[in-house]
Amino acid sequence: MKLLKRFIVKKNERGLLFCEGDFVSILEPGVHKRFDLHNRLTVETFSLNTSLFEHRLAGYLRQSEPALVEQYFERMDLAENEAGLRFEDGALVELLAPGSRQLYWKGQSAQTLQRIDLSQAYRLDTALVAQLNQPKLRGRSLAGLDAVLLAAVPAFHVGVLKVDGVVEQLLGAGQYGFWRFNRQVSVELVDMRIQAMEISGQEILTRDKVSLRLNLAANWRYSDVLGAFAQLSKPLEHLYREVQFGLRAAVGTRTLDELLENKQLIDDSVSQYLQEKLAGSGIEVSGLGVRDIILPGEMKTLLAQVVEAEKAAQANVIRRREETSATRSLLNTAKVMEDNPTALRLKELETLERVAERIDRISVFGGLDQVLNGLVSIKAG
């Protein structure tokens, strides 16, 4: 039986010596010899490449071995209103939560802690935000990144910052970061440009009980973002409902004939309705219009028949008007010929010319007067 037991701790390691599972001491790198008559001693080694000391003895060492903790560990203890930035050799490697109580091995890298008072500020400074927004460009990974809210506000947008459900401020275009600890933080992006809204497939009954399906398009924008979010939990949904209500009010109070004769009537009515309802809401509608009015199938057939009958009646009226005009013209011509033999003679020559246009050859017997007299006789007959 060997009475002398050897334990080896490598240069990048530390060891914990136990006797029957109870802590004895911390071993530094080197060869350690201990008398162990009954084989009671064991050593547990830790690589300094992992600087965090997560062990069941951490609490005991803090309480009962303060000298050892001071010699071998960096203590990083945070209050409940503090967050921490942990650096290794000057490089940020971890974000620590409030109330953290951590031990880190000394020896391989310099450990430093920067405390952040969360009761005074919850917004990260610009330089830190830039670091956190480029994790893939860093030489080493960053732990605890979910402790912050990173928000990117694009151009032509603003960000509505809410803290514990209360709107705090508007954020312009840029990169922002906020601590999530001890509060609920959110950023809602709002597009400040004119946007389009489609209201499709609205089934509405007219005043004369005809079911119509309408499609409407509207252009809108935020005129006062803070005012809109202060009054409305979901401004876009509120706008959509108001457009629906305005459309139903415009269609439901009018007959089908009124709507078909003047589609602009719907646009004007809905615009006026929205102007009244959205006053002071922080939302403005710059333009809207009905794109389609879709009738039921049987109503389309009936309207087609009505239009066909109307057009047929109009054609009949025009035909009768033209016939009356032609008859009146003939009567006037006859009166002129009756009073003027020369005009009658000219008419006879015109008739002869028309006949000649349709006949290749004409044989005249008895002279031109005989032909004319014959034509007159034919007309009289």
- Is residue 69 predicted with pLDDT exceeding 90? yes
- Is residue 254 predicted with pLDDT exceeding 80? yes
CB atoms closer than 10 angstroms to residue 56: 7
- Strand 211-222 and strand 195-205: pairing? antiparallel
- Residue 113 pLDDT class (50, 70, 90 cuts): very high
SS3 content of the chain, % helix, strand, coil (to 5): 40, 35, 25
- Residue 321 pLDDT class (50, 70, 90 cuts): confident
pLDDT at 379: 47
Question: For 81-92, how does the pLDDT look when each residue is reduced to its tens digit (9 = 90+)?
Answer: 999 999 988 888
Side-chain-facing half-sphere of 309: CA atoms under 13 Å:
6
Instruction: Give the mean pLDDT of 232-252.
Output: 89
H-helix segments, the chain: 58-64, 66-72, 126-132, 225-231, 235-252, 256-261, 264-277, 297-339, 341-358, 368-380
- Is residue 312 predicted with pLDDT exceeding 80? no
Options 3.30.479.30, 3.30.465.10, 3.40.710.10, 3.60.21.10; which CATH number does 195-295 get?
3.30.479.30
Calpha distance 274→245 (Å, rounded)? 9
Dihedral (Cα; 27, 75, 47, 148), 10-degree rounding: 170
- Residue 74 pLDDT class (50, 70, 90 cuts): very high
Mean pLDDT, the chain, rounded, equals 83
Report percent pLDDT > 90 for the chain. 37
Instruction: Give the mean pLDDT of 327-356.
Output: 68
Q: What angle do CA 16, 19, 23 make, to 5 degrees?
A: 45
Instruction: Please state, in angstroms and as integers, the Cα–Cα distance from residue 14 to each residue in 27, 45, 90, following that order.
Output: 6, 6, 23
pLDDT at 119: 85
Chain mean position to CA 305: 44
Question: For 162-186, how does the pLDDT look when each residue is reduced to its tens digit (9 = 90+)?
Answer: 888 888 889 999 999 999 998 899 9
At residue 289, what is the residue type? G
Calpha distance 228→280 (Å, rounded)? 8
For residue 23, the cross-strand partners are 18
Q: Regarding predicted confidence, which is higher, 17 or 300?
A: 17
pTM of the model: 0.64
Task: Map out the domains of the chain as residue ranges.
Answer: 1-47, 51-118, 121-191, 195-295, 312-380
Instruction: Give the mean pLDDT of 351-368.
Output: 63
- Is residue 330 predicted with pLDDT exceeding 80? no
Question: For 4-58, how does the pLDDT look when each residue is reduced to its tens digit (9 = 90+)?
Answer: 889 999 999 999 999 998 999 999 999 999 888 888 999 999 999 888 999 999 9
DSSP string, 12-25: TEEEEEEETTEEEE
- Is residue 366 predicted with pLDDT exceeding 60? no
Evaluate whether 142 touches 88 at the Cβ level (below 8 Å).
no
- Is residue 233 predicted with pLDDT exceeding 50? yes
Report percent pLDDT > 70 for the chain. 80
Calpha distance 362→149 (Å, rounded)? 107
- Is residue 155 predicted with pLDDT exceeding 90? yes
Evaluate whether 329 touches 240 at the Cβ level (below 8 Å).
no
